[in-house]
């Protein structure tokens, strides 16, 4: 029997600091098979590359697809990605990953054309194509978790910038005297409004002797406090947790207002772990945007939770393959 060379399937991989997730999907974004492995963060670039290749092979096996059936592979990675050269220039999640030629490694192993992009940029593409069916022409997608990433669709096109690096809004300065950021600057949006920032502020207040149920929630070990602990305490009525989230929401809104003034979007979708706080985060942020953005820009703007939840990056990589090789 001749081998099936239909090129109708797409394989997508999302490489994060905790897990490597992959799917086999149709061009329409229907997911046919899934695979994942924990990211072996401490074992260095080669072991992580092996794990990525292994996850791809396992996912292809569980979806019963072979390389000739694939239109292409799409890879989403946090950080600075050189899509033209197929290199991970820098990723904050994987220590030691500097200038890694990941595209070449995947193409050499599987013989399938492979395209790569920043995870938040591709997540915006995924939300736009499969969450919104492209019904909106001007969209900003914001993911808030350990950091803040953004992807921008403007005039019905994904905005990439001169080098494909556009959308690093997490590193715009919101308070020049603010706390230090992983990128080396100070007062970046993500240093003030991410889950990491929330946990840092909680620990700081506890270190100053604040009275809060958060310490109890982590069995007395305040080093274990993260954004989800602050959220849980806030839901139970903890005053400090509520105050910290309202400060976070304020700064989140300030950053959104800056983006609104620059891009005039119709819609802002908010995803990522911290977005699970829902209106505790979004309602105050909407008020700040109303106060700070030009009224003409913000009066019919919608700010709401993302549609695809944890699959936005993977489905964005699926859409990207269609765009690159379809």
Least distance in angstroms from the C-beta of 185 to Zn ion: 5
Least distance in angstroms from the C-beta of 286 to Zn ion: 25
The answer to whether residues 94 and 39 touch, using CB atoms and an 8 Å cutoff, is yes
Rounded Cα–Cα distance for residues 223 and 200 (Å) = 10
Q: β-strands 139-144, 267-271: how paired?
A: parallel
The answer to whether residues 230 and 203 touch, using CB atoms and an 8 Å cutoff, is no
The answer to whether residues 97 and 105 touch, using CB atoms and an 8 Å cutoff, is no
Binding site residues, Zn ion, CB under 5 A: 171, 181, 183, 185, 188
Nearer to Zn ion by C-beta: 102 or 188? 188
Q: Is 227 helix (H, G, I), strand (E, B) or coil?
A: helix
C-alpha angle 189-82-55 in degrees, rounded to nearest 5: 95
Rounded Cα–Cα distance for residues 112 and 67 (Å) = 6
Nearer to Zn ion by C-beta: 192 or 301? 192
Least distance in angstroms from the C-beta of 21 to Zn ion: 26
Least distance in angstroms from the C-beta of 186 to Zn ion: 8
H-only helix segments in the chain: 45-62, 102-110, 119-126, 189-193, 195-207, 214-217, 227-235, 239-263, 279-292, 295-298, 312-325
Give CA 319 to chain center in angstroms.
16
Nearer to Zn ion by C-beta: 95 or 180? 180
Nearer to Zn ion by C-beta: 49 or 143? 143
Least distance in angstroms from the C-beta of 168 to Zn ion: 8
Rounded Cα–Cα distance for residues 326 and 317 (Å) = 13
Nearer to Zn ion by C-beta: 62 or 185? 185
Least distance in angstroms from the C-beta of 263 to Zn ion: 20
Least distance in angstroms from the C-beta of 326 to Zn ion: 35
Nearer to Zn ion by C-beta: 183 or 262? 183
Nearer to Zn ion by C-beta: 183 or 218? 183
């Amino acid at each position: 029997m001749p081998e099936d060379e239909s090129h109708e399937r797409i394989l997508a991989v999302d490489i994060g600091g905790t897990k490597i997730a992959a799917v086999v999907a149709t061009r329409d974004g229907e997911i046919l098979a899934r695979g994942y492995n924990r990211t072996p963060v401490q074992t260095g670039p080669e072991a992580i590359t092996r794990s990525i290749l292994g996850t791809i092979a396992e996912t292809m096996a569980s979806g019963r697809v072979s390389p000739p059936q694939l239109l292409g592979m799409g890879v989403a990675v946090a950080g600075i990605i050189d899509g033209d050269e197929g290199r991970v220039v820098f990723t904050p999640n994987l220590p030691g990953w500097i200038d890694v030629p990941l595209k070449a490694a995947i193409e050499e192993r599987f013989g399938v054309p492979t395209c790569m992009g920043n995870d938040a940029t591709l997540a915006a593409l995924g939300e736009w194509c499969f969450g919104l069916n492209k019904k909106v022409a001007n969209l900003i997608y914001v993911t808030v978790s350990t950091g803040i990433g953004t992807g921008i669709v403007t005039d019905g096109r994904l905005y990439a910038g001169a080098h494909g690096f556009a959308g690093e809004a997490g590193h715009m300065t919101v308070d020049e005297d603010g706390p230090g950021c992983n990128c080396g600057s100070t007062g970046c949006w993500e240093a003030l409004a991410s889950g990491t920032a929330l946990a840092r502020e909680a620990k700081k207040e506890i270190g100053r002797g604040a009275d809060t149920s958060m310490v109890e929630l982590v069995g007395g070990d305040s080093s274990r406090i993260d954004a989800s602990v602050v959220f849980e305490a806030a839901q139970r009525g903890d005053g400090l947790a509520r105050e910290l989230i309202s400060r976070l929401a304020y700064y989140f809104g300030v950053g959104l207002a800056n983006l609104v003034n620059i891009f005039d979007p119709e819609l802002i979708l908010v995803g990522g772990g911290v977005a699970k706080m829902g209106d505790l985060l979004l309602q105050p942020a909407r008020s700040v945007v109303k106060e700070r953005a030009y009224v003409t820009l913000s009066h019919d703007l919608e700010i709401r939770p993302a549609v695809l939840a944890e699959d936005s990056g993977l489905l964005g990589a699926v859409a990207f393959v269609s765009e690159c090789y379809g």
